[in-house]
Structure formats: structure tokens, C-alpha cells
Amino acid sequence: MRLATWNVNSVKARLPRLLDWLAEVRPDIVCLQETKCSADAFPAEEVGALGYAVAAHGDGRWNGVALLSTAGLDEVTLSFPGEPGFAELDGVGAARPEARAIGATCGGIRVWSLYAPNGRTVGSPHYAYKLDWFAALRDALQAELAAGPVVACGDYNVAPTDADVWDPALFAGSTHVTPAERQALADLRALGLHDVVPTPMKGPHPFTYWDYRAGMFHQNKGMRIDLVYASADVAGRVRSAYVDREARKGKGPSDHAPIVVDLRP
């Protein structure tokens, strides 16, 4: 079984690239993030022509997640139990959960596509929301792990270690690298989830994100913030995992590259 996760940074803008990539790489299960479209507007027909069942969760503004599968798509869940929202988004104080999580059972594995909040600046309400979101995710995944195999993939917007950013000194005091954010990841691993670290296609670091500006991609000045967290029974089946850096090249790419994981039967 081949599983992949990719922050596409707008599925409509990236649709030709996505379709070509799906046809070439042929993953069985795909977790997409930052689709930036409503569920009704997701290009399910185009993706379906390649043999994929589709489940999408989006509000049409930003965020947005989806699951594509040729291995079954059952028990679809939009958002995870207890997922917090951010009150300022609708201007009336209601903390509605954003479109940041979708789960389904695919090929006997409970798969989650996750797009964690950015956090913006340390100490801001957005940062507090990010930490609250991770705390709720921990509780939700603890319950999922008790029920069977789990893979939680996506853009976590946290670099697990200093080795996962191209220059740690430049990120000092910024989000994505704070002790509290990294502790949130450690709390997920403490549940029994394993960080499936992919092999890089260039250089020693398996970066998955490079800013569009100033030639960052070509200089390999990136971050590893897209992660595959798997329960022990799934992690033990991993045959290989790699960052598909080729998908970040060319005209009009996402600023993220996909991670592709091959599992033994």
C-alpha cells in the first residue's frame, strides 16, 4: 500500500499538477491539506476519473483538507471530537472548528489528514489556539489508537527538532520551533505514534516546505513541518518513505512537497 500526504496550497490552482502526480505516483491513499475550497467545489470528478473515492472538508476561504483513496473510504469524520475553533473568524464570537481535519478508514487503517493552525506569533491568540488544537488532537488520537491502526498525516506547522529547519538561529523566538509546540508533538508520540521520517531527495535534511521567496527552494533552505505519525503496527510495515522533491519543481508549484510512504502487506 502506498500512502501520501501533501499540502497542495489550493487544489484548484494546483489541479493539473495534482492529476499528473497522481497518475505517475499512484498512491492508494492521499491526504491533502490547504485545499482552499468548499467540499462542494472540490474537483472530485477529475480525481475520481483516476479511480479515487473522495472525502473533502472545506469552507471555501482557506484551510481545507481532503482524503483520496482507492483502498476504501469508510466512516468519514469531519473534524475530530473536541476540536476547538477560533472565535474571531466569524466576528460573532462563536468558536467554530475550522476545516483542518478529516478522518476515514482506508484499507483497514484509520487515516487522518491534518492541517494544524499556523500560530502566527508567539503569545498571540492564534498561538494559544494552536496549542489548544494540539491538546484536543492528542485526546482524539488517544481514543483512535485504542480502536486500531492509525496514521495521522499532514502539515503540522511545527518542526520537531532544530535539524528540521535550515538555520535554527533565524527561527529563534518564532512559531513552529517553540518548546511548547515541540512538546505538543512529543505528547502525540508519547501516545505510541511514530514519526515516519522520509528520505530526502537532496541534501541531508528531509525538508518538506520551502518559502517561495528568494530562491529558498533552490538553496534548499527549508523546513520539515509535514509529518507522518503512525501507530506501531503501521510504522512496522513501512518499507520506504521519501520526500517527492520533484513535485516542488517547475511552474506554479505548491510551496510544500509530498511525502510518499510505502507499506508492506
CA nearest 262: which of 26, 17, 23, 18?
26
157 marked among binding-site residues: yes
User: From CA 85, how far away is CA 87, in angstroms rounded?
Assistant: 6
Tell whether residue 98 is among the known ligand binding residues: no
The one-letter code for the residue type at 255 is D
Q: Which of 155, 164, 226, 244 is catalytic?
A: 155
Whether 194 is catalytic is no
> Is 256 marked as a binding-site residue?
yes
Whether the Cβ atoms of residue 86 and residue 98 lie closer than 8 Å to each other = yes
Q: Please name which of 122, 110, 100, 3 lies closest in space to residue 56, comparing C-alpha atoms.
A: 100
Q: Write the DSSP symbol of residue 76.
A: E
Q: Is 82 exposed, middle or buried (0-12, 13-18, 19+ CB in 10 A)?
A: middle
d(CA 227, CA 153): 6
34: annotated binding-site residue? yes
Q: d(Cα 241, Cα 56) in Å, to the nearest integer?
A: 25
Q: Is 220 annotated as a binding residue?
A: no
Question: 115, 127, 156, 209: which one is catalytic?
Answer: 115
Please choose, from the candidates 118, 84, 79, the residue with its C-alpha nearest in 3D space to the C-alpha of residue 100: 79
Q: Which of 52, 164, 244, 256 is catalytic?
A: 256
List the binding residues for Mg(2+).
7, 34, 155, 157, 255-256
Residues with catalytic function: 115, 155, 256
Binding residues: 7, 34, 155, 157, 255-256
